[in-house]
């Protein structure tokens, strides 16, 4: 087996929801992985990887210039900057921290990295904001983010792609079980409510968005590392092409597996997250990438996982 390209990968936020799924996959390819994380949520998600001599864990902050410079002065050849204040509610609660981490720290990383070091950046497809009815958003569609979170990620993506030797993923709403679990993502949240409360109240139930399993997000990063040259300098939507669903349609999918789940629509009220769009994932599929985990499989996984989890401590807000 030949050695993989990009032998040493730096993953900021590597103990987070995506990172704690991605890091074990990177290690399984034989790569060295350095994780930089501040362990904000007191997570223990990488303990099962500590036996691996190819893993180094640095407890620290992506805003710390001296620390970041030291890490980038090493033999790191690819950077996956996952560290982020994720989601519109969290960014609205901590706007200064959101700007410093989601945008300013990315600018710092780009300033400090060496020209040969690649960056694969996780954006969100919430940058499409409110789409046009019946028209799929492609990577050429206008970006019209409606939240501080979306605006910061869109601006950071522009910096990353302009800097060269870079790829950006516009991720659909992620779902599924992770060692650093999150309950505040839409599929995870609605399935939690179905299992624990047996009901949900929907605001603007017709609003649509796209979805992708966390393991498939991790696989997308591996795909980019293996195909960097032909994917360079571009953004790619990453989602399930058969899962452009409204919130009501999502709940009906959950109800298939939790039959006594009651779904109510609120006659008034406004969802704080105003995303409403459908997305095309044809561009990344043309590079040979295909998701492996269906929405149905992910819901079944969540139902099983929720037999283990208790309490609200797995939410970001």
Q: How far is CA 140 from the centre of its chain?
A: 21
Q: What's the average pLDDT block by block, 10 residues per block, for the chain (317 residues)?
A: 86 97 98 96 93 98 97 97 93 96 98 97 89 84 91 97 97 97 95 97 92 98 97 98 96 98 86 78 98 98 94 60
Which residue from 166, 171, 141 is spatially nearest to 291, judged by alpha carbons? Answer: 171
Neighbours of 24 (CB within 10 A): 18
Residue 234's Cβ-side half-sphere holds a number of Cα atoms within 13 Å equal to 16
Domain ranges of the chain: 8-175+211-239+279-292
SS3 state of residue 107? helix
What number does CATH give the domain 8-175+211-239+279-292?
3.40.50.720
Residues 6+ apart with CB under 8 A from 65: 108, 112
Report the largest interatomic distance among the alpha carbons of the chain, rounded to a whole angstrom: 59
Element (H, E) at 98: helix 95-99
d(CA 275, CA 225) in angstroms, rounded, equals 30
- Mapping DSSP to helix (H, G, I), strand (E, B) and coil, where does residue 11 land? strand
Token reading at 91: 């960014």
- Sort 198 into a burial class: Cβ within 10 Å, 0-12 / 13-18 / 19+: exposed
Which ranges in 164-233 belong to alpha helices (H)? 186-196, 214-226, 228-231
Tell me how far apart the alpha carbons of residues 101 and 59 are, in angstroms, rounded to a whole number. 16
* pLDDT for the residue 263: 97
Residue where the block lists tokens 């180094």:
56
Q: Which of 192, 174, 172, 194 is nearest to 183 (CA)?
A: 192
Structure token digits, residue 189: 């949240």
Q: How far is CA 22 from CA 9, 45, 226, in A?
A: 11, 11, 15
Predicted pLDDT at 86: 92
For the record, the structure tokens of 93 come out as 């609660």
Q: Regarding beta strands 244-246 and 208-213, do their DSSP bridges make them parallel or antiparallel, or are they unpaired?
A: antiparallel
User: Model's pTM, two decimal places?
Assistant: 0.95
- Distances in Å between the Cα of 296 and the Cα atoms of 14, 98, 180, 225 are 27, 33, 21, 28
User: Coil, strand, or helix at residue 32?
Assistant: strand
């Amino acid at each position: 087996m030949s050695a993989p390209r990009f032998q040493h990968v730096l993953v900021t936020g590597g103990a987070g929801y995506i990172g704690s799924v991605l890091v074990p996959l990177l290690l399984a390819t034989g790569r060295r992985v350095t994780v930089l994380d501040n362990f904000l949520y007191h997570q223990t998600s990488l303990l099962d990887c500590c036996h691996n001599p190819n893993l180094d864990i640095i407890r620290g902050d992506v805003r710390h210039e001296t620390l970041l410079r030291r890490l980038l002065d090493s033999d790191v050849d690819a950077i996956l900057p996952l560290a982020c204040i994720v989601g519109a509610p969290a960014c609205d609660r901590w706007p200064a921290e959101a700007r410093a981490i989601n945008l300013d720290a990315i600018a710092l990383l780009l300033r400090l990295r060496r020209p040969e070091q690649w960056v694969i950046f996780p954006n969100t497809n919430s940058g499409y904001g409110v789409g046009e009815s019946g028209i799929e958003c492609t990577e050429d569609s206008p970006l019209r983010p409606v939240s501080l979170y979306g605006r910061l990620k869109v601006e950071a993506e522009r910096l990353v792609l302009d800097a060269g030797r870079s790829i950006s993923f516009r991720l659909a709403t992620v779902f599924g079980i992770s060692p650093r679990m999150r309950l505040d993502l839409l599929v995870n949240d609605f399935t939690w409510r179905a299992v624990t409360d047996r009901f949900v109240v929907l605001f603007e139930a017709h609003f649509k968005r796209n979805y992708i399993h966390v393991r498939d997000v991790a696989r997308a990063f591996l795909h980019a590392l293996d195909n960097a040259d032909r994917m360079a300098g571009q953004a790619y939507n990453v989602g399930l092409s058969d899962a452009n669903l409204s919130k009501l349609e999502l709940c009906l999918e959950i109800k298939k597996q939790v039959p006594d789940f009651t779904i109510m629509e609120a006659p008034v009220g406004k969802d704080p997250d105003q995303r409403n769009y459908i997305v095309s994932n044809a561009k990344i599929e043309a590079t040979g990438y295909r998701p492996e985990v269906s929405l149905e499989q992910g819901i079944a996984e969540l139902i099983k996982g929720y037999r283990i989890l208790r309490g609200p401590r797995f939410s970001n807000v």
